[in-house]
Amino acid sequence: MGWSLGLVYAILFYTPFPLSIPLAIAGFILTNFYLKKIVVKRMNVISDRRSSSGPQSVNYSCINCGTNHSQAACPKCGSKMKGANFRS
């Protein structure tokens, strides 16, 4: 917001009076529109990061005894045979 107000003041200062008013308004609206776009983009990036780095939903279930675990080998029977278990 302060950024766009600075631009408006610059336009008011550097352009002659009758021209400066519509230019200042256009500049204000354009910069706000542009800043909103950036904010929306940042929000999307944040939500993307959140969804990708959330708690691990992929688990494994032992094929031998059916125990759900996320280790290389089954903690119950020691079997390394396991299937991916996608849970929410």
- Can you give the binding site for Zn ion, defined by CB under 5 A? 62, 64-65, 67, 74, 76-77, 79
Q: How far is the CB of 72 from Zn ion (least distance, A)?
A: 12
Q: Which is nearer to Zn ion, 15 or 67 (CB)?
A: 67
Q: Which is nearer to Zn ion, 29 or 73 (CB)?
A: 73
Q: How far is the CB of 59 from Zn ion (least distance, A)?
A: 13
**43-52 per-residue burial string, b: 16 or more CB within 10 A, e: under 16:** eeeeeeeeee
Q: How far is the CB of 61 from Zn ion (least distance, A)?
A: 9
Q: How far is residue 64 from each of residues 49, 57, 61, 68, measured CA to CA in Å?
A: 36, 21, 9, 11
- Single-letter residue type at 20: S
